[in-house]
Structure 1
Amino acid sequence: MKITSIKTFLVPPRWCFVRIETDSGIVGWGEPVVEGRAQTVAAAVDELSDYLIGKDPSPIEDLWSVMYRGGFYRGGPILMSAIAGIDQALWDIKGKHLGVPTHVLLGGPVRDRIRVYSWIGGDRPADTAKAAREAVARGFTAVKMNGTEEMHFVDSYDKVERVLENVQAVRDAVGPHIGLGVDFHGRVHKPMAKVLMRELAPYKLMFIEEPVLSEHLEAIPELAAISPAPIALGERMYSRYDFKRLLQTGGVDIIQPDPSHSGGITETRKIAAMAEAYDVALALHCPLGPIALAANLQIDAVCHNAFIQEQSLGIHYNAANDLLDYVTDRSVFAYQDGYVTIPGGPGLGVEVNEAYVAERAAVGHRWRNPLWRHADGSVAEW
């Protein structure tokens, strides 16, 4: 079996899919994208295809090593996301060729379903509380909200009070036993993170996500000592070498690699195993499309330390299209009682609606994240 073509599709709302075709007729799909840089990742996929076309898709580990080690410059969001989508598609091909789910090829499942959470916004208390109630009514047992809008290095206490007002509104809406994650989104610098984490201690949070940007790992142990809430980090880390530094620094309780950014299934499985050796939990990052979610669930199936999965069905980014629009079987992600079933079909377990992908790729997208500024005019973290 040989790879005959590799093609990317930029589809609304902000995703990039890759289709790898073989001379046997088997097709694999992956999702290589950096949100806001989809065209750049697609160009990197095209560059990597120079080596891959004509090759046997079966030796995934070797192909991964060539894509990563075959270039003098390596790592980072663009290259690792391009490798990630290709790697997902290669596992999809192998599973389809052998007639088994990818997780069977990774050693077999340790679970048949995993808990999921729903994103509920976070900017306005009334809207966030309403979204939380609706998520719980749909069966979710955990939700995640944005903690804050823009915040300067040292900011006013009224912003802290607004954060507490938002979190209190959600707690009042769903009660004390629904899991509640608060995402600082890297918008907060250490001086204010110390204040916020101390003030949020009474709310019994499931986790605090990205209390500071991942380039400030040295601050994490100090912040971890302030709050009882577990600290989650890792969506902007791209390889086992990035996570090695995180795990050695300590203070992080939950890692959040994104298998569409962190080298795909091959690399993310290794990252998860490293974390397990440090007694650190896994909560894969996935605000993306159906192929990415399917790849995430194949990893969740085989990682003992996985405890919850992010998913983006119905979130605000998906106004133009949602996950299920691009799959032929809309029941493939079976949500029930706050869990989603691991897909059991061959490969990644989803069948892509190729005609609809082509139709929407003709529309495409140029999604960009918002640009925020502080009151003094300086650029703020989004």
Structure 2
Amino acid sequence: MTSAPAIVAVEPIGVSFGTDRERMSFLFVKVTADDGAVGWGEACDSYGCSYASVLATVVDDVFAPLVIGQRLDAVDPLADRMRLFTRRRLGDGWVAAQARSAVEIALWDLVARRGGRSISAAIGRVRDEIEVYASSAFLEEGPAAHHLRILGPLLDRGIRKVKVRTGPEWRDDLDTLADLRRELGDEIELMVDASETYTLPTARLLADALSRLDVRWLEEPIPQGERAAIEALVARSPVPVAYGEHLFGLSDAIEAMRRRQLDVLQPDASTAGGISEARRMAEAAASFGVRVVPHVCAGPVSLAANLHLAATVPAIRTVEYPPTLVPVWDTFGTGAPLGLDAITDGMLPVPDSPGSGVGLDEAVAADFPYEPPGVRAAGTTGGLPDRFVGDR
């Protein structure tokens, strides 16, 4: 029997790329074994990876020394090694979990590639394709016709679930949303992402209004740290409330579900600590009657990792699909196609080649070096400093 390979290198690679909306950044991790095999991972801070150099430093200084020289018999022991060595100092959340996620995903990619199987096949695949929902723009960007133009290519591929975003001028957004609901018709499921913008009183008003438009969930209406306010909203909201892209691992998820601080759990393998940790979060949701819909908002390796996550958890039926990131996936990704042409009847195939089925084109990445965002507020087109700080 061939002995397990030893890890000889862990290399973070940051890139920045201008989409048609704004400039975004991404942080990939390349793990190399002593037999030359390579695995790819990616971190996410909920919207690409705005401070990729920060996470790269965490990978270089903290996690790489814990992994290099270790035998890769299985992923979970090395993931536990990274967490246990650092949890009392660096912690389990935020940059620690995000950076650890990238390394863990790369380890899964590497071990599955060497075994000649996809990650989901190695874990235990329950489906070969995943329904995706269109994660679209802020309603303030234009009238309903503008949003229909954005959504048209996705609807043409059979997508029947759509998410749009409200901002500080939420009353105006509701008018646009009502027009969009009429144009889309009842056969399209509609969700709303509020990007942590509101106080509890406004979130309650918004939830009441959204219930009249048959909105299926209201995502992150209140800043994620204001747990008491979130709990109060969930207790009386007529619309299910979704959180999860800022939950870091099983303990975070269980605490949020135990206290009824969400109705829809949105784990992300590139944020929560990796594929295994996101699976634990998703599997725990069944005990609380909570729906699970993974968050995706990063590069091609992150999307592939979350597709494999979804393919191994029976309760996961749908995964987020932001069309603004298609140029990023096409530019940097290798392997399985992830663009609109890969979607049929609203379903995206789970990559079936060894590993995640997706990698990073290193030559292309070298042409797009990472640039810090400076004072720009990530997730906005104008960089408004007061974008997410309360009501109007």
- TM-score where L is the length of structure 2: 0.87
Q: Choose from 306, 312, 319 the match for 2:316.
A: 306
- Partners of 1:82 and 1:304 lie apart in 2 by 27
Greater alpha carbon shift after TM alignment, 347-356 vs 327-336: 327-336
How many residues end up aligned between the 2 structures?
A: 363
Matched residue type, 1:188: Y
Distance change (3 Å), C-alpha of 1:250 and 1:84: same
Matches within 5 A, 1:111-150: 111-121=127-137, 122-123=139-140, 124-126=142-144, 127-148=146-167, 150=168
**What is residue 49 of structure 1 aligned with on the other side?**
64
Which of residues 287, 291, 299 is equivalent to 1:277?
287
Asked if residue 8 in structure 1 is aligned to residue 12 in structure 2, the reply is: yes
Between the aligned partners of 1:381 and 1:9, the Cα distance in structure 2 is 35
Alignment correspondent of 1:155: none
Give how far 1:41 is off: 0.6
Q: 1:96 to 1:250 in 2, by over 3 A?
A: same
- 1:340 aligned residue: 348
Judge conservation of contact 1:254–1:281 (CA < 8 Å) in 2: yes
How many Å apart are 1:172 and its aligned residue?
2.2
SS in 2 for 1:145: strand
- Would the alpha carbon gap of residues 225 and 163 (structure 1) be closer, same or farther in structure 2, given more than 3 Å must change? farther
Amino acid at match of 1:201: S
Q: Does 1:248 align with 2:252?
A: no
Q: Root-mean-square deviation (CA), in Å? A: 2.1
Q: In the alignment, what sits opposite 1:323?
A: 329
Match of 2:20 in 1: none
Q: Would you say the 8 A contact 2:200–2:230 is kept in 1?
A: no
Q: CA, structure 1 residues 202+332, in 2 after alignment: closer, same or farther (shift >3 Å)?
A: closer
- Partners of 2:305 and 2:385 in 1: how far apart? 36
Q: Using the alignment, how far apart are the partners of 1:379 and 1:349 within structure 2?
A: 36
Please give the per-residue CA displacement for 1:288-314, whole angstroms capped at 9, x wherever unaligned.
110000100111001111121112343
Evaluate the alpha carbon distance shift between residue 33 and residue 43 of structure 1 in structure 2; reply closer, same or farther with a 3 A threshold: farther
CA distance in 2, matches of 1:45, 1:381: 34
**Is 1:372 paired with 2:388?**
no
- Note if contact 2:234-2:260 (Cα within 8 Å) is conserved in structure 1: no
Letter in 2 for 1:353: D
Q: Could you tell me how far apart the structure 2 residues matched to 1:167 and 1:236 are?
A: 26
Which consecutive residues of structure 2, in runs of 5 or more, have no partner in the other structure? Answer: 18-24
CA contact (8 A) 2:199 2:390 kept: no
TM (normalized to structure 1)? 0.89
Cα deviation digits, residues 220-247 of structure 1 (max 9, x gap) = 4532354432211111111211112101
Question: Quick check: 2:196–2:388 contact (8 Å CA) kept in 1?
Answer: no
Letter of the structure 1 residue corresponding to residue 210 of structure 2:
L
Q: Distance in 2 between matches of 1:3 and 1:198?
A: 53
Matches within 5 A, 1:285-300: 285-300=295-310
For residue 352 of structure 1, what is the aligned residue in structure 2?
360
Distance in 2 (CA, whole Å) between partners of 1:312 and 1:8 is 24
Is 1:76 the counterpart of 2:96 in the alignment? no
Deviation at 1:213, TM superposition (A): 2.2
Counterpart amino acid of residue 96 in structure 1: R
Hey, what does 1:233 align to over in structure 2?
243
